[in-house]
């Protein structure tokens, strides 16, 4: 079962990377979501927050070293946004803030939850 979680978390990471790096004006994106219906910045920030909560949860239950997972997710959340500089998506510091908040909130939540279960 643990192997399945590892595969799913890696697959999620790959999908997340593709979703964050594909240009918003790419024909596939415009076919799925019209430009005028793409999320606003406020909605986009919440999407980043939730996606990074999910990322941390998936990696937390897939791999054993919890602190390495935390630092990996933190570094990934910054790097993925920096890589957007080289696409037409652009760089937004608030995306990094909400990515990091998602990772930190999930880290705190899981540590508190596990502390109260003992």
Q: Is the pLDDT of residue 44 over 70?
A: yes
Range(s) of the domain holding residue 90: 2-117
* Domains contained in the chain, number: 1
Q: How confident is the model at residue 117 (pLDDT cuts 50, 70, 90)?
A: confident
Q: Secondary structure of 3-60 in the HEC alphabet?
A: HHHHHHHHHHHHHHHHHHHCCCCCHHHHHHCCHHHCCCHHHHHHHHHHHHHHHHHHHH
Q: Which residues touch 9 (CB under 8 Å, ≥6 apart)? A: 55, 58, 59, 61, 62, 63
* Model confidence pLDDT, tens digit, residues 66-111: 899 999 999 999 999 999 888 777 788 999 999 999 999 999 999 8
Buried b (16+ CB within 10 A) or exposed e, 73-109: bbebbeebbeebeeeebeeeeebbebbbbbbbebbee
């Amino acid at each position: 079962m643990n192997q399945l979680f590892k595969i799913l978390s890696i697959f999620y990471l790959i999908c997340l990377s593709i979703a964050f790096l594909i240009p918003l004006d790419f024909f596939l994106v415009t076919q799925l979501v019209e430009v005028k219906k793409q999320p606003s910045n406020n909605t986009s920030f919440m999407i980043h927050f939730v996606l990074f909560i999910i990322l941390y949860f998936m990696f937390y239950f897939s791999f054993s070293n919890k602190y390495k997972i935390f630092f990996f997710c933190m570094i990934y959340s910054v790097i993925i946004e920096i890589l957007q500089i080289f696409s037409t998506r652009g760089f937004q510091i608030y995306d990094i803030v909400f990515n990091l908040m998602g990772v930190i909130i999930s880290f705190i939540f899981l540590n508190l939850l596990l502390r109260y279960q003992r």
